Structure 1
Amino acid sequence: MNQTSFRLRTLAVALLCAAALPNAAFAAAPAAVTVQPVPELRADFMMGADVSMTDEIEKLGGKFYDAQGQQKDIFAILKENGVNWIRLRIWNNPVNAADVVEGGKTISRKGEPVGGGNNDLAATIRMAQRAKAQGLKFLLDFHYSDFWVDPDKQFKPAAWEKLKGKELEAAVHQYTADVLKALREANASPDMVQIGNELNGGMLWPDGKTWKAKPEEQIGGDDGFVALLSQGIKAVRESDPSRKTKVAVHLANGATNDLYRRVFDLLTKKGVDYDVIGLSFYPYWHGTFDDFQSNVDDISSRYAKEVVVMETAYAYTTEDGDGFPNLFNRDMQKSVGYKATSQGQASLVRDVINAVAQVPGQRGAGVFYWEPGWIPVKGAGWRTGEGNAWDNQAMFDFKGRALPSLAVFKRVREAGTAADVPTLLPVAPLKLTTYVGENFAPPEKIRVAFSDDAQREVWVSWNDVSAEQLKQAGNFKLVGHLSNFDVPVEAAVAVVPRRNLIEDPSFENGKLEGWTITGTAAAISNERNPGNAKTGQQSMHYWLGEPFKVEATRSYAGIPNGTYSLKAWAAGGGGEKSIELIARDCGDGKRYTKTITNTGWQKWAQYTVSGIKVTNGACTVGVAIDGQTGNWGNLDDFEFIRDGAN
């Protein structure tokens, strides 16, 4: 999964991990959730769980209980709840090869276990054997690193740091073969092997990197990536000439079709031999269900491959189990539309399973939930010395008791009852805004609430809006009807003069449309992550793994002369050489600025440049960042307003 932003945030938060809650007598089993069955599921549909933290959690005292409070093997509990596949990651040698730099400070941890599961070969074998003993199938996830890899980082293992070209390719082949041999000898061979993890930009950087952060960067490019990937696949095929062991290639951002076309068009062109397209789809990061459905439908047909969601997850609470800040927060449930409850968690997982099951030609092969057993146990953190930022997205409560939502993997196959079908809740009137004299198009879809703690988008047909209603400021009522439901809906529409000259001020269109990026352009992006946004789901994000200077600006012409103000909200880790709101080229020769000082993740502050004199009908406004290696932050809700404008 993509954790760069998360890692940076947690480094900026100086909190100590508290111990996991002590085991205590359990109350009566919580009420079961409602789960609408998923029709036409393949008999062999993968109901998967990544439980790579299990070995470490149990070593540190963690225990697991079924829904009735009886202590059991977690693998047995998962099987009882419909899970039929287990996913385990493997790291080459998960110890710190050097001291660790955290929050700008060097911490002496050379030679210590890295944490995060310490998923070496021995731990992987132990867990794989337990899965096999329960009759569960096993997906092995090679990271080809000593620690986490994802789209933002693909670090080589320390032992391979100096290897390049054929030597590095040989190392990938030999290591893959050795791991598979050891698993075979332990009677724990994988049923599917994932070569690399979230390979949006390649693997084993820079040799297998497919994109440049700057023109002079030396990378292996597409050819380097394909060569390394192919060596891993070759080792799998050699270990199982019968080809019963499936090979998967896994990317993140599961709702981004152009990414998948770019990578898998390349693999098709190069004749890479694989069986399954793997996706990560976290709705609070990666996009809408509609975009996800469109992507999996397209790629399964375009490449004639099965598709499997290798990672998804959602919160069952916004509470925290160990005093370490959680990744999922209250704003995320609002943006995605599912309540952070056990029912909401079950409903989201059910809807992901349903989306995959709908892929044409029965090519939707399965869904894996990421780390349902990562309960808060002291020491079992993302890294040694950190706490657990995932505990509220587990499918066991903070004491290790299975949540009712865990049964979703079994319940989607059952016949169900009328009570399991979610019903539409009353639809509150909408509030919409449009601007005097501009075109107005009410939303084609609106999100409505259902009885299973989920909000889903439904189509709505609206009555026509006349030009007269938009000629001047005022209010009017708009009436519509929900498609597929015999339910009317109303909207109160406010027609107001446009004050803020910045269109899409909170970046919700998913682009940087209208912005000019100069300098180190790779440092700036439109990020979909409600946890990093002031409002909505998107924000302007900056980060780069090296020093950078960049400006993001918008230029205006033909605007009325007068005095203006520029405002924006900012939050981030701090440490930049400088970060400023700027306004220039407004006719008086001045450069107006306001210094931004970030103090931490989600510590938002609004900054204002006031008294901007526009004398030539033009002005350029934006933000200028002079950043050091690893500086990160987000900007949101920009305003450029003429003072006194109505």
Structure 2
Amino acid sequence: MKKKTLKSLVLSALAATTFAFLPSAGAAIQVNPIPNLSQDFIKGADVSMLPELESLGAKFYDVDGTEMDELQIMKNHGINWIRVRIWNNPKDSYGGGGNTDEARALEMTKRAHALGLKVLVDFHYSDFWADPGKQVTPKAWANHDKDQLVKDVYDYTAKVVKDFQAAGEEPEMIQIGNEVKSGMLWPIGKLPSNDGDKAFSELLNAGLKAVRDNDPDRSIKLMVHLPDGGDNALYRSFFDSVEKNGVKDFDIIGLSYYPFWHGSLESLQQNLDDISARYDKDVIVVETAFGYTNENFDDMKNPYDEKAERIGGFRSTVQGQATGLRAVMERLANVPNGRGTGMFYWEPDWYPVEGAGWKTGEGNEWDNLCMFDKNGKALESWDVYTDVSDQSLPTIAPTFKEVDDVEAAGGAGAPIALPEKVRVTFSDDHAENLPITWNDAAPVFDETGTYPVKGTVLVDGEAHIVNGTVTVVKKTNLVKNPDFENVNLDGWTITGDASAVNAVSKAGDALGQGALHYWSDKAFGFTASQSFDGLEDGLYTVSVQTQGGGGEESYELFIETNGERKATPITDTKWNEWHTFTISDVEVKDGKATIGVTMKAAPGCWGSVDNFEFYKQD
């Protein structure tokens, strides 16, 4: 991606600028109330890490510096539910991540109920993290066939429910499986499948039935939970399939929605509206989070950074965090017929505490996405939970705050492609990418060097100056739309299974605003290419950057010219681990060339392609 320079933000400056628009001098953040938010709207938080944090000496302080129980702090600021995960036996796996077994979940449920909070219990059916990338069968069940696994799920779920009931701590809600887009209890329950998803559906139904059989009054609400909250096609495909297999007896569809991974708020709204009506279910965003800083407080790389901030659309400030949370709650409040019933923040308490890593011996990836600072003091963004329901507060329209500087690059003597949009930040620290009108839309510079360019962006009818810097180099990248910066596939020819290919804007799946992404639940193959004519004779280089899960049958970067084809294999290793593949010293003699990537892959293969380059060597 073309890098865009962020103006530096420091907390001392925020005190003087970010909050200048606030309604009163004492207010730390500004949050507009949500007029149609129901009184019983779920304002929840997943606090599964809390027992581990406390065992390692973590202390929590309210915004005024008073030390107190974290659950009490959350309740003081409007939280009315908690969520706790259960791993079957963390001792049979790597350890860490809170070591969240049944005993700890029950302990947290007792504490929450004593404070008048309600509880959602999240069954992972694994000894460690279960998510779209891994759904590892518990060690104790590892050699069981499908029928035995169905019985295992039923018996284990029933046991936990009975244990909670015997302790007088029946949870108010239970979810069967965690982010089960890819199924659960692999390999038998893995999706996509060759059996019409029947084995997975049996496993899912076993958990649902175990709760219903032990809850004759149906007082426990039941949830099925997927990731990718902005992907309506995924939700339709998944729930159409399991419903056909008889999975119907549940109350709520849970969604994970992180805007830096899962699409725009508009795509979230469309999905919420559609699935609540299509499947006659309530909907809850059961996982979300927003960064309050881009700083990392330990040696573990965080998934949230400046690029994620840019994609997510909310600045990495306390105000931006609050504004993002309000935006999600507003989308839920807007779901027709009152079916958007709540939201849970995922691990707001996971500040950097020595030893409290995602895995034993490793660090914390979430330290800049929590709602406590690095010393355990609550951020003022907690007030969003009370403020959204306080109809006595004024509604203040956000106003223009600042516009980013931008950067571009190109070759000497050729028109420079300037960015089409620029990030504009508003007074509530939400950001929008708005169109730029350049003084010269395609400048040409004959000499290498750095040059200033200017344009304007229109905000609420008022023009604001956009300052840009162009770096001119000798080599010229001949590829059109090489970095998918505008999140489209313009300039590219997609042949083969084109439905498996799209442009995405998602942190980790793109190196900036966008990337070409591929995935299908069926075997697929495609080629993405561009052709060139009128090339000067000489030696050329083509390169590309990729990331993904790997495992493709064949995957190559290629160039065809002079009737010959050169290619180099592409091998990916894991999500967000980018590699560069290059073919150099390719002689072009007839003025024509075609470059691109091509692959054949099994169902479920996924990855991204970004930052193509094709240029004449010096």
Shift of residue 504 of structure 1? 3.3
Query: Counterparts of 1:266-285 in structure 2 under 5 Å?
Result: 266-271=241-246, 272-285=248-261
Name the counterpart of 2:614: 640
Name the counterpart of 2:564: 589
Given the alignment of the two structures, is residue 536 of structure 1 paired with residue 513 of structure 2, yes or no?
Answer: yes
TM-score normalised according to structure 2 size: 0.79
In 2, the alpha carbon distance for the partners of 1:227 and 1:594 equals: 40
Shift of residue 138 of structure 1? 0.4
In 2, the alpha carbon distance for the partners of 1:228 and 1:117 equals: 26
In 2, the alpha carbon distance for the partners of 1:515 and 1:419 equals: 47
In 2, the alpha carbon distance for the partners of 1:622 and 1:38 equals: 48
Shift of residue 62 of structure 1? 1.0
| Equivalent residues of 1:510, 1:528 under 8 A apart | no
Query: Counterparts of 1:407-426 in structure 2 under 5 Å?
Result: 407-415=383-391, 417-418=393-394, 421-425=397-401
Name the counterpart of 1:259: 234
Q: Which amino acid aligns with 1:383?
A: K
In 1, the alpha carbon distance for the partners of 2:303 and 2:433 equals: 25
In 2, the alpha carbon distance for the partners of 1:326 and 1:123 equals: 26
Given the alignment of the two structures, is residue 404 of structure 1 paired with residue 380 of structure 2, yes or no?
Answer: yes
Q: 2:426 aligns with which of 450, 463, 475?
A: 450
TM-score normalised according to structure 1 size: 0.76
Q: 1:514 aligns with which of 477, 493, 500?
A: 493
In 2, the alpha carbon distance for the partners of 1:223 and 1:565 equals: 52
Q: How many percent of aligned residue pairs carry the same amino acid?
A: 39
Shift of residue 529 of structure 1? 3.4
Q: 1:188 aligns with which of 157, 160, 169?
A: 169
Q: Which amino acid aligns with 1:269?
A: K
Name the counterpart of 2:292: 316
Q: Which amino acid aligns with 2:49?
A: M
CA 333–344 in structure 1, closer or farther in 2 if over 3 Å, else same? same
In 1, the alpha carbon distance for the partners of 2:358 and 2:484 equals: 30
Report the secondary structure of 1:640's partner residue: strand
| Equivalent residues of 1:532, 1:602 under 8 A apart | no
Q: Give a deviation string over 1:223-279, Cα, whole Å, max 9, x none.
A: 112111111111111121122211111110000110011112223333421111110
Q: Which amino acid aligns with 1:514?
A: T
Name the counterpart of 2:127: 146
Q: 1:346 aligns with which of 304, 316, 322?
A: 322
In 2, the alpha carbon distance for the partners of 1:80 and 1:323 equals: 33
Name the counterpart of 1:205: 186
Unaligned runs of 5+ in 2: 1-25, 411-416, 446-452, 470-475
Q: Which amino acid aligns with 1:200?
A: K
In 2, the alpha carbon distance for the partners of 1:461 and 1:620 equals: 31
Report the secondary structure of 2:98's partner residue: coil
Report the secondary structure of 1:87's partner residue: strand
* Number of aligned residues: 572
Query: Counterparts of 1:226-625 in structure 2 under 5 Å?
Result: 226-271=201-246, 272-415=248-391, 417-418=393-394, 421-425=397-401, 448-456=424-432, 485-488=460-463, 502-508=479-485, 509=487, 514-515=493-494, 528-531=505-508, 533-538=510-515, 554=529, 556=531, 560=535, 562-563=537-538, 565-568=540-543, 570=545, 582-589=557-564, 591=566, 607=582, 609-615=584-590, 617-622=592-597
CA 238–190 in structure 1, closer or farther in 2 if over 3 Å, else same? same
Q: Give a deviation string over 1:259-306, Cα, whole Å, max 9, x none.
A: 011112223333421111110000111111111111111111222211
Q: 2:62 aligns with which of 39, 62, 66?
A: 66
| Equivalent residues of 2:548, 2:572 under 8 A apart | no
| Equivalent residues of 2:49, 2:349 under 8 A apart | yes
| Equivalent residues of 1:593, 1:609 under 8 A apart | no
Report the secondary structure of 2:92's partner residue: coil
Name the counterpart of 1:14: none
Report the secondary structure of 1:369's partner residue: strand
| Equivalent residues of 2:291, 2:369 under 8 A apart | yes
Shift of residue 514 of structure 1? 3.0
Report the secondary structure of 2:91's partner residue: coil
| Equivalent residues of 2:403, 2:424 under 8 A apart | yes
In 2, the alpha carbon distance for the partners of 1:597 and 1:447 equals: 32
Q: Give a deviation string over 1:377-421, Cα, whole Å, max 9, x none.
A: 111111111111111111011111111111211111113544854
Shift of residue 552 of structure 1? 5.8
Shift of residue 540 of structure 1? 5.5
In 1, the alpha carbon distance for the partners of 2:467 and 2:58 equals: 53
| Equivalent residues of 2:287, 2:345 under 8 A apart | yes
CA 209–584 in structure 1, closer or farther in 2 if over 3 Å, else same? same
Query: Counterparts of 1:101-120 in structure 2 under 5 Å?
Result: 114-120=95-101
Given the alignment of the two structures, is residue 177 of structure 1 paired with residue 151 of structure 2, yes or no?
Answer: no
Name the counterpart of 1:122: 103
